[in-house]
Structure 1
């Protein structure tokens, strides 16, 4: 088990300083040239994605200004670049570690809680009891809503990390069996690996979208 999970450990270092986490910034390499080169298919596609996300986020947040949804579009961009780069060989997948995912979800959740309780105290208290709850069930509903609110940053981070780890482990386990297989079975393994890679690409998009959209929903409850 130690060898199996060692693929997720940062091992590359310079002067005893871990350099694997620098892979988190690799996504920035793909962005700058969009703004100083002539429009390409890639830049047009990325602009279309950003506009689509903004239209969806502003519907949930009840806003019209582009700047308000920039935070969630940036989170989506960071996660999707890290997820896709993690599918490349010898690239460290930082989004599969709770250190990174908790670093994204926990400060965001704490900020929302501080802002909500100081500026919308009555709304936050009313949110603990759903409308139409019988008086006898109100204490239990307050307890349940409080627990569900507290575990939100954990569920956000664990969902992203667990989905990325599961796919990478499956690809690693199947890939390690390749040298011991016959040629006929090896061809089946290669096809299955390609299909799993396509599935992992879809998971990379879905999980980044889920993280961003749930963060948007949590913020919309405060407004």
Structure 2
């Protein structure tokens, strides 16, 4: 039996990392007419983008920095596309690797921290001690808040990676049992796989939304 995680191996038969190019498949698959001629799909997509923009605008309080929500809307769109792309057969799921998720989370968090500590030092120091904390607990609270702040990019990256990998792994495990089952059990297995596919579609949307919203909330703390 091959390694259980071999389906997540990014290398191809040529031992190159061409599978990572699946991240940019959207640019090749979506025709220019989608952007040039307003269609129902276009209106639906713009409606989703505007809803996210308005929601992030409330979270980030973006009156001072116009258009700052666009980076989070773009982040949501990119992660959503890659999550959905991984549900198709024989297409590499780039978001199931820490290389991609940490690359998205770490620079964002680092830029927020540098901006916050350089421009709003007192505000950032005040965040380390929650309001109403007894003086005795203040040193402990500073340690706890510092640790929780430092692990934020890790939790963002691991959450997305683990959720993407878990569902795909379960579907792979169930799919491998197919040849050994009877016809009745095979029908039941196909039904279960379809339900799992629906669940994974929901997870793909939810995880991209969670990543974008948490990034927005982290940025709002440094303003």
Cross-structure match for 1:25: 24
**Structure-to-structure mapping, 1:22-171, within 5 angstroms:** 22-28=21-27, 29-30=29-30, 32-36=32-36, 38-64=37-63, 67-171=67-171
Aligned partners of 2:6 and 2:204: how far apart in 1? 21
Deviation for aligned residue 1:10: 1.2
The answer for the alignment partner of 2:6 in structure 1 is 6
Structure 1 contact 98–157 (Cα < 8 Å) conserved: yes
Structure 2 distance, partners of 1:217, 1:30, is: 31
Moved over 3 A (4+): none
Q: What SS class does the counterpart of residue 67 from structure 1 fall into?
A: coil
What is the deviation of 1:32? 4.0
Cα deviation, residue 17, structure 1: 3.0
For residue 13 of structure 1, report the CA deviation from its aligned partner: 5.7
Aligned mates of 2:68, 2:115 — CA distance in 1? 16
For normalisation by structure 1, the TM-score amounts to 0.95
The CA RMSD measured in Å over matched residues stands at 1.5
TM-score, normalised on structure 2? 0.95
5+ unaligned residues in a row in structure 2: which ranges? none
Bigger mean CA offset, 85-94 vs 56-65: 56-65
Q: How many residues align?
A: 221
Does the 8 A contact of 1:13 with 1:20 survive in 2?
Answer: no
CA distance in 2 between partners of 1:160 and 1:125 (Å): 29
**Counterparts of 2:205 and 2:32 in 1: how far apart (Å)?**
21
Residue 154 (structure 1) shift:
0.1
Q: Does 1:183 align with 2:183?
A: yes
